[in-house]
Chain A
Amino acid sequence: MTAAEEEWGRLMVAAQQGNAGAYRRLLDELRKWLCRFYARRLPPAMVEDAVQDTLIAIHEKRHTYDSERPFKPWLAAVARYKWIDRLRSMGRATMEELPDDIAIEDHESSVTSSVILTQLMTKLKPAQAEAIRLVKIEGFSVEEASARTGQSGSLIKVNIHRGLARLATIVQKQPDVE
C-alpha cells in the first residue's frame, strides 16, 4: 500500500466523522484517480459523467468503508461497479438518439485512450465489437455504422446491446481487470 493510499484511508475516516476539510481534499484526489481509471475503460465522452456518478456513490456509501481495511480496494470496487453499470446503461441507450458531443474528432486517440475497453472487446464477436467501436466509441450514427459494416440498422442495435451486456458480464466475472 502506498503512502497516498494510506492517507486516503485516513482522510475517509475523518470524513466519516464529519471533517469537511479532509473530505474536500480526499474528493479532489479521488476525482483525479477516477479520471485516469475511467479514461482507460470508457469512451472519452462518458468519462466525466462516470467520475461524477462515482463520486456521488462514494459520498452515499462512505459508511461502508471499514477503516481496518485498505482504502484502495474499496475505492476500486465502487469504481468498477459503476463501470459495469455504465456499460449496461450504454447498451440500454442504444435506441436513443446520441447527443452531438459524443462524436470525437480524433477517433484514433479516443480508441487508444479506452485501452482496457478495447482489449475487452476482443472477447466479443467481431460484429458486436465493430458495432460498439463505431457507434459507442467513435461516435458514428447507427446509419453510418450500418453503411460501413454492411449490417442492417437493427442488427447494429442488437449487436451493441448484446455486446455491451456481454462486456458487463465479462467485467463482473474478472475481479481485477487492468
Chain B
Amino acid sequence: MSSDLLLDRLVDELRPVRPSNPRRQLAILLCLAAVELAGFLALGTLRPDVAAALGRAAFWWKMGGLALLAAFGVHIALGSFNPVSSPRSGLRRWAVLVAGLFLVGWVIDVAGQGTSALVARLMWRMGVECLTVMTILSIPPIVALGLMMRRGAPTDRQASSVAVGVAAATWGALIFAFHCPSDDPFYIVFWYSLGVSAITLMARAVLPLVSRW
C-alpha cells in the first residue's frame, strides 16, 4: 500500500479517543482491590487472631511491607505503559526495597524468635496453601494490569511484564495476608518470595506475547 493510501485510511478511521489517564487507572485498580478484599473476607477468611496480631511488630512488617511493594509495583507498571517511560530503574528500586524489607524482617526474627528448627517453621502444608491462594488472588490484578498494558504502549514489554508481575503478586499476597495466621518472618520471606517469583515468571512469560503492538 502506498503511504498516501495509508494516510487516507488512517484519517478515515479517525475517531475521538480518551487520552490515557493514570489517575483513572489507579482509581479502577483501587476499586478492584477493595472488591477483591471484600469478596475474600466475605468468605470468612479473616484470621481469627487478628486482634492479638495487631500488637506484633512482625504483623505490621508483613502488612506494611506488602502494601508498600504492591503500591510501588503498580506505580512502576502503570508508568511503563507510556512509550516514553522504561520500568527498569523503577524495578531496580523495587528490588532494593525488597532487600531492605528482608533485612528488617531478619532483625525482627532475631530479636523475637528462638532457635527452633527452620524446617518446622516453614509449615509445608500451610505454605503450599499460601502459595495456591496467593496465586489465585493475583489473577484479578494481573488481568486488569494486563488489559491496561495492552491498551497502553509499553516500549519495554519484558520489563513492563515483570512490573505487572511483581505488582500483582504482592497485591495478591497482601490480600492473602489478611487470612494468613503466620507472622514468622522466616515463613513469610520463604513462601511469599516463592509465590511472588512464580507469579512474576508467569507474567514475564505470557504478557509480552499478548501486549505486542
Contact A18 B14, beta carbon cutoff 8 Å? yes
- Which residues in window 105-157 of A have CB below 8 A to B? none
**Does the CB pair B7–A31 fall under 8 Å?**
yes
User: Chain A 43-80 against B: per-residue CB contact (8 Å), 1 yes, 0 no?
Assistant: 00000100110011101111111110100011001101
Which A83-103 residues sit within 8 Å CB-CB of chain B? none
Binds A, one of B81-89, B90-98, B100-108: B81-89
Contact (Cβ within 8 A) B7 A27:
yes
- B19 near A67 with CB under 8 A, answer yes
Q: Establish whether residues B83 and A64, one from each chain, have CB atoms under 8 Å apart when the complex forms.
A: yes
Measured CA separation A24–B20 after assembly (Å): 22
Known A15-B14, A60-B213, A64-B152: A52·B86 in contact at CB below 8 Å: no
A residues in contact with B14, CB < 8 Å? 15, 18, 20, 23, 59
Q: Which among A18, A31, A64 has the highest number of chain B CB atoms within 10 Å? A: A64
What secondary structure prevails in chain A residues at the interface with B? helix
How many residues does chain B have at the interface if contact means C-beta atoms less than 8 Å apart?
Answer: 25
Q: Are B153 and A52 in contact (CB under 8 A)?
A: no
Residue of A nearest to B1 (CB): A52
Partner of A52, one of B3, B11, B152: B3
B110 smallest CB distance to A (angstroms): 40
Distance (whole angstroms) from the CB of A18 to the closest CB of chain B = 4
Distance in Å from the Cβ of B65 to the closest Cβ of chain A? 31
Indicate if the CB atoms of A61 and B153 lie closer than 8 Å.
Answer: yes
8 smallest CB-CB distances across A and B, nearest first, come from A18-B16, A77-B83, A61-B153, A81-B155, A63-B17, A64-B153, A59-B10, A77-B84
